[in-house]
C-alpha cells in the first residue's frame, strides 16, 4: 500500500510542477506579457484662463512603447543560437526515441563590462549546455535538455533576460540576468536589492514564507502519520533553511510594476531532492 501511495504522490507532484504564490500558475513566467502604452484618456474640461495669467506649457506625451517586448529589444540583444528540429535516438531494431528540440539563446550587444560578464555567464552555463546536446546528437545518445528558451522583461532602465533549459524528465535549469542600461552594470544579489530599495532581511524572510507555502501546497495533504516515512519535516526544514534561502542560491527579478519573482529550490518528496519553482513573495519596499 505504501508503494502505491508513494507512486501516486510522485505522479501527482510531477503533474503539478507549477509556480507557487499569490498569482495563478502559467505556462511560463512571461506568458501573456505585454508592455504598457501611453495613456489615451480624454482631457477634462476646464474654463478658459484669465487674460492676466501666463500661458501654461502643455506636457510632452511619452511615445508609446511596442506591445511586443521583443521589439523593444531591437539593437540590444542577438541570438548566437537559433535552431530547432527533430532528433531520433535508435536503440535497436525495435526501439527508438524521437526528440523535438529548440535552442534559442540571448546575448547583449553592448560592449560594457557588465554586458560582457552577462554574456560570458550565459555562454558558460547555457551555451555549453547546448553544445553538449549537439555532441549527444553526433554520438547518437539521448538528450539531457531538448529546449532552451529565453524571455525578456523590463523595469525602469533594467533589461532582464530569463533563460530556461527544459528536460523531458521534468527538471529545468534557470538563469536570470538583470542589466542596467544607464550604467552598464550587471545587477544581482545585494546590488539588485539596493537598486529596488529592498532590505536583504525583508527579502529573505518574505521568500522563506513563500517557499514554505509552496511546499505545503504540494504536500500538506499527506496524513500526519505518513509524513515521517516520506521525510516531510526534513524536506520542509531544508526548504526554508538559511542553507537554501540565501542570495547565493536565489534568482530574482522585478516585473514591469516592480513586483518580485523569485526562482527558488523547493524540497521534493518524490523524484529529485528538489525542483525549481517560481515564487511571488509579498515584499514591501520603497
Q: Cell numbers at residue 148, please?
A: 532552451
d(CA 208, CA 206): 5
Q: At what angle do helices 232-239 and 200-219 cross, to 10 degrees?
A: 160
In tens digits, the chain (286 residues) has pLDDT values of 444 444 444 444 444 444 464 444 333 443 433 333 333 333 333 333 344 444 434 344 444 444 555 667 778 999 999 999 999 999 988 899 999 999 999 999 999 999 999 999 999 999 999 999 999 999 999 999 999 999 999 999 999 999 999 998 878 999 999 999 999 999 999 999 999 999 999 999 999 999 999 999 999 999 999 999 999 999 999 999 999 999 999 999 999 888 999 999 999 998 889 999 999 999 865 4
Distance CA 278, CA 19 (A): 4
Q: What is the rounded distance in angstroms from the CA atom of residue 221 to the CA atom of residue 229?
A: 14
CA dist 166 and 173 (Å) reads 7
Mind listing the domains of the chain with CATH numbers? 69-188 (3.30.565.40), 198-286 (no CATH)
3-state secondary structure of 203: helix
pTM: 0.76
Angle between helices 200-219 and 189-196 (to 10 degrees): 100
Mode of pairing for the β-strands spanning 77-90 and 96-108: antiparallel
Write out the three cell numbers for 51.
487674460
- Provide the Cα torsion 254, 255, 259, 261; round to 10°: -60
Is 254 in a helix, a strand, or coil? strand
Query: CA-to-CA distance for 34 and 68, rounded, in angstroms?
Result: 6
Q: H/E element holding 180? A: strand 172-180
Element (H, E) at 209: helix 200-219
Whether 216 contacts 284, CB under 8 Å: no
Question: Which residue is associated with the grid cell 547583449?
Answer: 108
Strands of 10-126, DSSP E: 77-90, 96-108
Amino acid at each position: 500500500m505504501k508503494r502505491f501511495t508513494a507512486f501516486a504522490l510522485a505522479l501527482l507532484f510531477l503533474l503539478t510542477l507549477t509556480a507557487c504564490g499569490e498569482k495563478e500558475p502559467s505556462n511560463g513566467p512571461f506568458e501573456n506579457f505585454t508592455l504598457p502604452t501611453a495613456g489615451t484618456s480624454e482631457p477634462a474640461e476646464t474654463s478658459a484662463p484669465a487674460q492676466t495669467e501666463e500661458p501654461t506649457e502643455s506636457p510632452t506625451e511619452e511615445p508609446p512603447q511596442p506591445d511586443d517586448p521583443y521589439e523593444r529589444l531591437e539593437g540590444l540583444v542577438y541570438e548566437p543560437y537559433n535552431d530547432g528540429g527533430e532528433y531520433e535516438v535508435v536503440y535497436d531494431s525495435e526501439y527508438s526515441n524521437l526528440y523535438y528540440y529548440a535552442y534559442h539563446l540571448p546575448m547583449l550587444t553592448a560592449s560594457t563590462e557588465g554586458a560582457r560578464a552577462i554574456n560570458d555567464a550565459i555562454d558558460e552555463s547555457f551555451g555549453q549546455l547546448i553544445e553538449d546536446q549537439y555532441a549527444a546528437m553526433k554520438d547518437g545518445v539521448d538528450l539531457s535538455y531538448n529546449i532552451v528558451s529565453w524571455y525578456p522583461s523590463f523595469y525602469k532602465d533594467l533589461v532582464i533576460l530569463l533563460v530556461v533549459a527544459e528536460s523531458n524528465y521534468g527538471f529545468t535549469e534557470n538563469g536570470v540576468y538583470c542589466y542596467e542600461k544607464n550604467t552598464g552594470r550587471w545587477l544581482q544579489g545585494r546590488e539588485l536589492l539596493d537598486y529596488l530599495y529592498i532590505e536583504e532581511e525583508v527579502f529573505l524572510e518574505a521568500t522563506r514564507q513563500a517557499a514554505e507555502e509552496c511546499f505545503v501546497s504540494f504536500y500538506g495533504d499527506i496524513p500526519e502519520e505518513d509524513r515521517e516515512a516520506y521525510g516531510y519535516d526534513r524536506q520542509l526544514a531544508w526548504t526554508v533553511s538559511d542553507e537554501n534561502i540565501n542570495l547565493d542560491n536565489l534568482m530574482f527579478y522585478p516585473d514591469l510594476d516592480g513586483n518580485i519573482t523569485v526562482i527558488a529550490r523547493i524540497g521534493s518528496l518524490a523524484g529529485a531532492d528538489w525542483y525549481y519553482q517560481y515564487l511571488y513573495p509579498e515584499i514591501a519596499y520603497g
